[in-house]
Structure 1
Amino acid sequence: MRDDNPDPGWYFNTRTGEVEHGHLSRSIDRLGPYPDRETAARALEIARERTAAADKADRAWNGDDD
């Protein structure tokens, strides 16, 4: 069964620094969707953590891990 009114999720707008519910701005300016406002507010922190983990995995793959 198709949901005709799915929850659009929460987003962090990287241009304005604001949390948004739904597709209020251009997709290029949004990070998300996140399950709730609080998680969306942490979007930049989450992105930094994921980037650091990916960088560490790359170093390990290349044999450069400390």
Structure 2
Amino acid sequence: MAQDEDPNPDQGWYYNTRTNQVEHHDRGRSIDLLGPYPDEATARRALEIARERTRKADADDASWND
């Protein structure tokens, strides 16, 4: 295996909340990352996905409390 060949070729895609960049192999600090996501396009939607999940969780909480 060549030295620059990745032994784990698909480690997922991440969205870095500090840099607002999508990352794949060279990732920032885990505290700054959302993911992993299955592909780059989904990682680019990370903040939108997080907002959707938060809205759903808030709605579920509200219905649980009723």
- TM-score interval for Structure 1 and Structure 2 normalised by the shorter chain: 0.7 to 0.9
Unaligned 5+ runs, structure 1: none
**Identity between Structure 1 and Structure 2 (%):** 67
Unaligned 5+ runs, structure 2: 1-6
Aligned residues: 60
Give the TM-score normalised by structure 2: 0.85
Give the TM-score normalised by structure 1: 0.85
Q: Find the partner of 1:20 among 23, 36, 39.
A: 23
Q: Quick check: 1:58 aligned with 2:61?
A: yes
Q: Find the partner of 1:42 among 34, 42, 45.
A: 45
Structure 1 residue runs of 4 or more that deviate by more than 6 Å after TM superposition: none
Question: Deviations for 1:26-63, whole angstroms, at most 9, x for unmatched residues?
Answer: 00000000000000000000000000000000000000
Distance 1:29 1:21 in 2: 14
| TM-align CA RMSD | 1.2
Q: Aligned letter for 1:31?
A: L
